[in-house]
Amino acid sequence: MTSILILEQLLNGLGYGLMLFLLAAGLTLVFGIMDVLNLAHGSLFMAGAYVAAEAHTRSGSFVAAIVLAVVVTVIVAALLEMLLMRQLYKRDHLAQVLATFGVILVADDLVKMIWGPSPVMAPTPAALSGPIELVPGLPYPAYRLVILGAGVLVALALYLLVNHTRVGMRVRAGASDRPMAELMGVRVGRIFNGVFLLGAALAALAGALMGPIVAVQVGMGEQILIPALVVLVIGGIGSVRGAFIAALLVGLVDTIGRAFMPMLLRATLPPATAADLGPLFAEVAMYALMVAVLIFRPSGLFSARA
């Protein structure tokens, strides 16, 4: 019984970690190459979730909904890049934080105008709504397995792209030392445009996939943005590998804090205290992990600029 529960929770943590990775991968590359802190990344995630929910409800096709969500979000991101981000490259982090926080406010209100203030229903595709018995006694929702599979696939593709292609080499060069890469003839500006759009596509994909298992609502972008930033910082800025490991770590630590700590507390402390402390551990675990990492490695685990 308990081992099955543990397995189930670990799978949940893995799924959450992989989705965080989709968000953090774009963030860390954008930050690593152009030194731009884009708080509006969460808004792209939200855009993906809303478009996918709407398209899925209307068309009935889950795949079409995901494709549409990615396409629409990439178009939005391209507009954002042309109209705003280009002006921010040369500016300090504070100006970037200010402007992209402004984008968050605008995006939230636009979504509220289009879809209204209450959460939108994002249906689970009918074929995937049932559970699948992974091992005897562990029925696991098929949809969550799809998320796991998609996350692993995208992570693998991204790994191959970044580490085993010419484009990926240029991306890494730009992330580790931009001026030097430019002197060696890498068009970092153009690479960055591509990376920014790729990041937007990944954020939209994460949003579209997460939609059916979280609430699709205004503010969901800010909610996921912070864990994504935590992943970025733990992994080290500009490192996709770091983001991957950090994302899985955060996913697992979050699950441990959420599922196992309350059990442990209930077993050792009086029930009232345990009920008070349980949720606290769940929420704080991720931040404590980050602070612990930063105390020992002040620029993250695998900083590209170390």
Partner 1 sequence: MKPRFLLLAALLVALAAFPLVAPMLGMEFYIGFVRRVLVVALAAASLNFILGFGGMVALGHAGFIGVGAYTVVALSDAGVASAWLLWPAAALVAGLAAALIGTVALRTRGVYFIMTTLAFAQMLYFVAVSLRNYGGDDGYTLPARPTLGLGIDLGNETHFYWLVLALVALLLAWMQRATRSRFGHALMGIRDNEVRMRALGYPVFRIQLVAFAIAGAIAGLAGALLAGGNGFISPGAMHWTQSATLVVMVVIGGLGRSWGGPVGAVVWLLLEEVLKQYTDHWHLPLGLLLIAVALWAPKGLAALGRRHGPSRKKKTEAA
Q: Write out the residues near partner 1 by the rule CB under 8 A.
A: 31, 37, 84, 87-88, 91, 93-99, 101-110, 112-113, 222, 226, 229-230, 233, 237, 276-277, 279-280, 283-284, 287-288, 290-291, 294-295, 298-300
Q: What is the spatial distance between Cα 248 and Cα 182, in angstroms, rounded to a whole number?
A: 33
Tell me if 302 sits within 8 A of 278, measured CB to CB: no
CA 263, distance to chain mean position in Å, is 28
The helix (H) or strand (E) run that includes residue 296 is helix 271-296
The helix (H) or strand (E) run that includes residue 139 is strand 138-141
The least distance separating partner 1 from the CB of residue 160, rounded to whole angstroms, comes to 28
Residue placing its CB nearer to partner 1 in the complex, 49 or 285: 285
Q: How many residues does the chain have?
A: 306
The least distance separating partner 1 from the CB of residue 151, rounded to whole angstroms, comes to 24
Q: What is the spatial distance between Cα 99 and Cα 103, in angstroms, rounded to a whole number?
A: 6
The least distance separating partner 1 from the CB of residue 234, rounded to whole angstroms, comes to 9
To the nearest 10°, the Cα dihedral for 292, 297, 302, 305?
A: 140
The least distance separating partner 1 from the CB of residue 252, rounded to whole angstroms, comes to 18
Residue placing its CB nearer to partner 1 in the complex, 267 or 296: 296
The least distance separating partner 1 from the CB of residue 268, rounded to whole angstroms, comes to 17
Q: What is the spatial distance between Cα 271 and Cα 268, in angstroms, rounded to a whole number?
A: 9
